[in-house]
Amino acid sequence: MNKYKHLFFDLDRTLWDFDRNSTETFKELFNKYRLDESDCCNFNEFLNNYREHNLRLWEMYRNGDIEKDVLSVKRFEIALGDFGITDPELVKAFAKEYLELSPLQTHLLPHTHEILTYLKPYYHLHIITNGFKEVQDVKVKKSDLEKYFEHIITSEEAGYKKPDIRIFEYTLDKTGANADECLMIGDDPESDIDGARNAGIDQVLVNHSNIQHNGGITYVIDSLKDLKSIL
């Protein structure tokens, strides 16, 4: 598709394997703080409980209902509290170390390096992410992704979070691109797809997990390697 000149990629769960990297970090911390010996819960119970709270709090963060610093601690405070662990110092330490350790993990979704290597000579590549800047920058560097991208735009930098149209407008302005020559590639039907559509940008839903969506998407693919059929 020669009309496209700029490709905007989401990071978490599109390129960087958030679920696998997060799980490995949790296992490390779960063992470090000997939660497996406390008889409060097993690892899978804790992880599933945390994920439910984390999704809810991230939705609040995207909507501007809570601040970043509250989110980063509150999700652990609630998840640990559900199992009777209420030590505030442990909660703070767990939250701090999670943010330090998780971005050091380097597992990527299948075909990430393959497809970025394929696309790099022909397109301007950029990242648009809602993640915390200090965390996302480390992920990109540690996973050897920095070499592919001209701009890594976080919601903190832009002042708005996907799917807010203003983060896409900020990105268009910063990259000097026109909406009709751009393509947004992400895994989230709301944040990535709806947000880009509202900004007049074509979209690719990378449906790794076969999630339900409402349609109206420019392209839907099952794997990053399928971008070769589009670009």
- pLDDT tens, 11-25? 999 999 999 999 999
- Average pLDDT of the chain is 93
- Residues 160 and 167 sit within 8 Å (Cβ to Cβ): yes
pLDDT given for residue 193 in this prediction = 96
- Predicted confidence band at 38 (pLDDT cuts at 50, 70, 90)? low
pLDDT given for residue 84 in this prediction = 87
**What are the φ and ψ backbone dihedral angles of 166, each rounded to 5 degrees?**
-70, -25
pLDDT given for residue 33 in this prediction = 87
pLDDT given for residue 210 in this prediction = 81
pLDDT given for residue 85 in this prediction = 86
What share of the chain in percent tops pLDDT 70? 98
Average pLDDT estimate for 202-226: 91
Structure tokens at 101: 């350790």
CA distances in angstroms from 15 to 19, 143, 169, 212, 217, listed in the order given: 11, 10, 23, 20, 19
pLDDT given for residue 1 in this prediction = 53
- Predicted confidence band at 123 (pLDDT cuts at 50, 70, 90)? very high
CB atoms within 10 A of CB 58: 17
Instruction: Give the Cα-Cα-Cα angle 166, 13, 58 (nearest 5 degrees).
Output: 55
- Predicted confidence band at 161 (pLDDT cuts at 50, 70, 90)? very high
CB atoms within 10 A of CB 110: 12
Spatial distance between the Cα atoms of 225 and 222, rounded to a whole number of angstroms: 9
CA distances in angstroms from 103 to 35, 151, 198, listed in the order given: 22, 19, 30
Q: Whole-prediction pTM value?
A: 0.91
User: What's the pLDDT tens digit per position in 201-213?
Assistant: 999 999 988 887 8
Average pLDDT estimate for 93-100: 93
